[in-house]
Chains A and B, each alone.
Chain A
Amino acid sequence: MSGNSIIGEAAIRAGCQCYFGYPITPQNELTEYMAAHLGRRKGCSFVQAESELAAINMVYGASLVGARTMTSSSSPGISLKQEGISYLAASQLPAVIVNMSRGGPGLGSISAAQSDYFQATRGGGHGDYRTIVLAPSSGQELADFTHRAFELADKYQIPVIILGDGMLGQMMEPVEFKHEAPEKPPVRSNALRGAKGRPSRAITTFTSKPTELEEINWSLFRRYQLIQRRETTYEAFMAEDAKLMVVAFGVAARIAKGAIKNVQAEGLKVGMLRPITLWPFPSAQVTSLSNKVKQFLVFEMNMGQMIEDVQLALTGNGDVSFYGRPGGVIPTPSEVAKVISRIYYQKGLK
């Protein structure tokens, strides 16, 4: 299955009841998959919205009444969705938002890129908030992380972003789905479904009292701290006796793995840390790595965004190099291997 279709199938199996989308390359197979497979399920709904703005606000509506709900887009469309994501975060409503990102800024290119890292990990819209950001790097992870995204969204009442890219979306890979679709889509218990047998409720984000909003900001912040403690995930690859650690996420990490295998064969001791949750970022793991390793190479398909989180975690306790290809250029493993070797020798590690 294509990566985009994998997300669609995994979402249905996670109990996604409503999907709202708007066409944009390179994620259209996901919208089309939901049109074909979700719309006809009993009690489920697919709407092709008139815009990304409308789609994310439909997500907000469906989440209000307790449905598991999702939207997807690619970079320019995700910019439009930021309004709704901010409202979801403020209202503490769960939702899953998929960004199969492409090159930017502007209309950019339709090829895979990682230039939306800042947008995804810093909230993205207005106001003081975070979203959980999952970065898959294979077809199997697209399936697994989609399921996890719905679970996390419900558990912490928070929007969750799956940050993929055009390459993951288009790639065909075998996949094993570990869950069966529920008979009936689940309904969240605290949903707004009419004041039957209880006092009426209001879900609002506006207040005329700054101290009230300050308290909401604090309560969100405390939840974010909890998520940081509990949900930070990463993969350590050949990290045991590494002298140089590559830090890369998503499809870049997959390219880097190929490169690392090449240089390992030449006797270079190179490992990789792959953040799986981009927010919360595995800062503690980067910090503890710096006790053993002093040389880091951050590799991203952008001009250098995650590198700021790596540098923050290291606080000067390590030497960080960067290699990036922006604009939708997809580097090959041998190209990255050359960069690794060059840095390895330049830094006197051999």
Chain B
Amino acid sequence: MKKVYSRPKSLKRNPFHYCPGCGHSVIHRLIAEVIDEMDLQDKAIGIPPPGCSVFAHHYFDVDMAESAHGREAAVATGIKRAFPEAFVFTYQGDGDLAAIGTAETIHAANRGEKMTAIFINNAVYGMTGGQMAPTTLSSMKTTTTPYGRDVEIEGYPIKISEMLALTRGAVYIERTAVNSPANIRKTKKAIRKAFQSQLDNLGFSLVEILSPCPTNWRMEPLESWRWIDEVMAVEFPLGVIKDVTGSKDAD
């Protein structure tokens, strides 16, 4: 019988600990599939964040090193400068990349570091219990915006990918989602393209993935999938935000 689906080589045989309906396990799998297909398992170094995915090294069967909160892009910079042959991806949440790590991320992008950031946007701080993130939507209730995010007081959901696209060193930035089979396929394609731009030494690449967090959103998994389409993707439109991989100087 023909085998059409199996565990990627770059994923360990450990069951995911993530909540039902969480996007992390799907995204982990997509990254592992791309690592396999591009034959990167023995040169990859992954940098997971503190947060729900702090145990990503339990799942990815590649070298991994933990980073302090928000410093992944700086750690990746150190790795690539010392050992340019490495293939480096960071795995970061919205609080991590768009709040505490804003400076590190923007400057790594601006220097055109040859690295890829996988940016999980679920609009909340997940592991700490669902506090407001920089990407929390207007009027959205979280544990630190119990009456809904008031943009007059708490500011607006930040579009960090669009900001990063303004840096000359960023060559590929796309926003996708993992809330439907079609979007999951598009996400995999985006990861592949981002990884390729690093292998081609073109510069900084990032894939922002709108990812459901049913637990902290207080929703059923299916409801959370719909919410991404109906609410989140309105504020954070899906699609390619920047792609100069064809001609790096095109910007």
Contact = CB atoms under 8 A, between A and B. Distances in A.
Nearest to B42: A196
Given A195-B62, A206-B50, A65 B79 contact: yes
B210 to A, nearest CB: 26
Interface stretch (B80-88, B150-158, B198-206): B80-88
A84 B71 contact: yes
B43 A65 contact: no
Report which residue of B66, B67, B106 has the largest number of chain A beta carbons within 10 angstroms of its beta carbon.
B66
A140 B57 CA distance: 45
Q: What size tier do the contact residues of chain B reach?
A: 35 or more
Contacts of B42: 194-197
Contacts of A195: 41-42, 44, 61-63
B63 A200 contact: yes
Contacts of A91: 65-66
Interface string B44-84: 11000010001001001111111110010011111111110
Contacts of B50: 206
B229 interface: no
A87 B68 contact: yes
Contacts, number: 136
Nearest to B41: A195
B75 A58 contact: yes
A61 B103 contact: no
A58 B43 contact: no
Contacts of A45: 81-82
Contacts of A205: 66
Interface string B100-141: 000110110001000000000000000000000000000000
A62 B42 CA distance: 18
Contact of A61 (B54, B76, B107): B76
A50 B78 contact: no
A69 interface: yes
Given A54-B104, A58-B74, A69-B78, A64 B64 contact: no
A10 B67 CA distance: 29
B86 A193 contact: yes
Contacts of A193: 45, 63, 83, 86
B45 to A, nearest CB: 6
Which secondary structure dominates chain B's binding surface?
Answer: mixed
A262 to B, nearest CB: 49
Contacts of B107: 49-50, 54
Contacts of B60: 200
Interface size class of A (residues with CB under 8 A): 35 or more
Interface string A195-214: 11100111111100000000
Contact of B82 (A65, A194, A196, A201): A65
Contacts of B79: 61-62, 64-65
B142 to A, nearest CB: 24
A194 B71 contact: no
Contact of B67 (A20, A57, A196): A57
B44 A64 contact: no
B64 A202 contact: yes
Given A200-B62, A204-B57, A84 B68 contact: yes
Interface string A69-92: 100000000000001100100010
A55 B57 CA distance: 25
Contact of B103 (A20, A47, A54, A66): A54
Contacts of A196: 42-43
A61 B75 contact: yes
A248 interface: no
B160 to A, nearest CB: 16
Contacts of B86: 65, 193-194
Best-buried of A18, A54, A63, A205 by chain B (most CB within 10 Å) = A54
A96 B126 CA distance: 35
A67 B74 contact: no
17 contacts: A18-B81, A45-B82, A50-B103, A50-B104, A57-B104, A60-B75, A61-B75, A61-B77, A62-B81, A65-B79, A66-B82, A194-B45, A200-B63, A201-B63, A203-B65, A204-B66, A206-B66
